[in-house]
Structure 1
């Protein structure tokens, strides 16, 4: 081969003449792309129908896909609380010889109202919420007969319109007689006593009266299931566990009432 021939062929080799054209996308790749887009579009449609409460397609999509894609409230918190509990108190005071009964006061709601909109509220804003949870734990540790007894009054009549609280020793004997654990009864009565003192101090400050008797109840509020979270109608009605009247052994001191006066002023603004 001559040198002339090599020189003439060099440009042709540099331009790539003689190479096969670039391969076009195969039919399989095109089908895969179409299927992928369809899946993404379908998922976006289903997700949008589930999350937009006013979507007209939500009932149809929910009925068709809920068994496969639904989730519960505890999807990210396995031990999430299923019931919210509020502590509510009621008190009595005397006007002359007549006992006047107050309305129910939702202490927990007052505390939470004062903390709404605050990213890091003070721990006192859930004081009664924590108390309700701890008290319920001790209450549930009792057996059925003991629970029935402690939901009754802890006051005895002395005659002539006079009353007094039943002593701890006598209450323990009564709880021993109906059965169950004495240790659980002791733990319950300790917390019961603390709630008596708390309700008396809070009620005295809230109503500005010398409180003679107190009682409380736990409000149980179970939110709707996840799939019904946008429904206005409740799936479960509010329920209550009410405990009978107690009579404080001693009235709260002026110092304690002054503290609760400040707390209630912060809660209610009055």
Structure 2
């Protein structure tokens, strides 16, 4: 009887392993394949919740369109001084966070926040018209409703409300992240913040053997000063602890 129970447990274990392996292969196939209706067989957000952050991957590292550039997210702030506001130096949040991934077999998710945020923001920004981009470069920091005023101003000079809504969403995340970085570095007395997003392409493949080849210039997105914005459920203390450690590792 004991032998029979042992055999049954082994069979159930093998069956469970096969089911889990099959699910993982199927989920990975759906995730790395081009988006299609096939993904709808997995209800809700079950697929993304399973794949992220540990199993996230895509074909963007391969031809014909491999990743060929780096994104950067920099932050500076205004802090109170004896004679008025003092403008701080820029802090490179991307370089700081990437230091958390060096020599780490299992890098923390925090190692890629700024880079991903910069990529998302620049993509939304480039969907705006030239006139709307000029508005984004203005300062919006007075009062609690500055983000709403920005959205109204963008809508007034454009004919694509979806592009504006997408940009405002990224502006909200970027401003809140910049505020967290500023407060982690310069303390809670920060008055307002400014962030700078940029992308720098790598040396073109055709120039890879040229010893004098230089990377192309950074493509910088200019945005104005922003008010302090906080998102629901964010933890300033936990973020500050992690980011300060990253800043020390990066040597800034």
TM-score, structure 1 as length reference? 0.62
Identify which of 62, 73, 94 aligns with 2:80.
94
Maintained 8 Å contact 2:185/2:244 = no
* 1:76 shift after superposition: 4.3
Identify which of 150, 153, 164 aligns with 1:171.
150
Query: What is residue 137 of structure 1 aligned with on the other side?
Result: 123
Alignment of 1:4-15 (within 5 A): none
Distance 1:130 1:75 in 2: 15
- Superposed CA offset, 1:216-257 (max 9, x none): 11122111122433535414223422210011256999x832
Distance 1:247 1:119, change over 3 A: same
Query: What is residue 78 of structure 1 aligned with on the other side?
Result: 64
Distance 1:178 1:126 in 2: 34
SS of equivalent residue, structure 2 residue 178: helix
Distance 1:180 1:84, change over 3 A: farther
Distance 1:173 1:257, change over 3 A: closer
Identify which of 172, 190, 193 aligns with 1:214.
193
SS of equivalent residue, structure 1 residue 243: coil
Distance 1:256 1:228, change over 3 A: same
Alignment of 1:146-165 (within 5 A): 146-155=132-141, 163-164=142-143
Query: What is residue 228 of structure 2 aligned with on the other side?
Result: 248
Query: What is residue 234 of structure 1 aligned with on the other side?
Result: 214
Identify which of 241, 247, 250 aligns with 1:268.
247
Query: What is residue 237 of structure 2 aligned with on the other side?
Result: 258
Distance 2:108 2:229 in 1: 31
Query: What is residue 110 of structure 1 aligned with on the other side?
Result: 96
TM-score, structure 2 as length reference? 0.66
Residue 193 (structure 1) aligned with residue 179 (structure 2): no
Distance 1:146 1:267, change over 3 A: same
User: Which ranges of 4 or more aligned residues in structure 1 deviate by more than 4 Å?
Assistant: 249-253
Of the two, which has the highest radius of gyration? 1
Instruction: Give unmatched runs, 5+ long, in structure 1.
Output: 1-73, 156-162
Distance 1:182 1:164 in 2: 24
Query: What is residue 32 of structure 1 aligned with on the other side?
Result: none
Distance 2:213 2:235 in 1: 42
SS of equivalent residue, structure 1 residue 210: coil
Q: Superposition RMSD on alpha carbons, in Å?
A: 2.8
Distance 1:118 1:232 in 2: 33
SS of equivalent residue, structure 2 residue 158: coil
Equivalent residues, number: 189
* 1:204 shift after superposition: 0.7
Distance 1:111 1:207 in 2: 17
* 1:120 shift after superposition: 3.3
